[in-house]
Amino acid sequence: MNHQIATFAGGCFWCLETAYNRLEGVQEALSGYMGGATENPTYKQICSGDTGHAEVVQIDFDADTISYRELLEIFFTLHDPTTLNRQGNDAGTQYRSAIFWHSPAQKAEAEAIIAELTAAKAFDRPIVTEITEAPVFWPAESYHQRYFEQNPQQPYCMFVVAPKLTKFRAHFSKRLKKDA
């Protein structure tokens, strides 16, 4: 196994974590916080917007089964990388679009895909996704892990997470785990 880590911020971590945990080659995707100054932040602190952290998903994956490039392609499908500090009704720096790289190769791949998407005019507006070296990852509280699976009838899950999951399944059905 070619074990690697990827970390992305693209709005509410429930959306990203739900999708990535369904992919073949992903050992686990964890919701958490990254990119701020507060040590061991809580969800309440993050929601204040004062910590500097983003809601992220950290993905433990087998690069022999799914590539970092594929994870990036999924990332750019699951959220709008052209909105600064916002995804839908979720607004604030904690909802920014960011790629936190763990190696120079990941940084180069992230820069390359953004350049390709920009050249192809894949989006109507400029991509504002930040590319930053990964600092400390702080796992979110346990009730945030696999939140959608535990709370599918919760309104946010029904009206935000579920439609993203449907779109994800339509685009990446060949990459899904058998039980996804």
Catalytic residues, by residue number, are 12
In a domain, 180, yes or no: no
Parent domain of 156: 3-175
Task: Please give the pLDDT value at position 171.
Answer: 87
Tell me how many domains the chain contains: 1
Task: Please give the pLDDT value at position 5.
Answer: 98
In a domain, 60, yes or no: yes
Using CB atoms within 10 Å of the CB of residue 1, give its burial: 0 to 12 exposed, 13 to 18 middle, 19+ buried.
Answer: exposed
CA distance to 11, 51, 57, 59, 60, per residue, from 21 (Å): 17, 27, 10, 8, 10
pLDDT band of residue 155 (cuts 50, 70, 90) is very high
Res 180 pLDDT > 80: no
Mean pLDDT along residues 73-88: 94
In a domain, 166, yes or no: yes
Instruction: Indicate whether this model's pTM tops 0.85.
Output: yes
In a domain, 121, yes or no: yes
In a domain, 113, yes or no: yes
Reading the block at residue 128, the tokens are 């504002």
Res 178 pLDDT > 90: no
Task: Please give the pLDDT value at position 179.
Answer: 75
Res 12 pLDDT > 90: yes
Mean pLDDT of the chain: 95
- Read off the CATH number of the domain in which 62 is found: 3.30.1060.10
Res 157 pLDDT > 90: yes
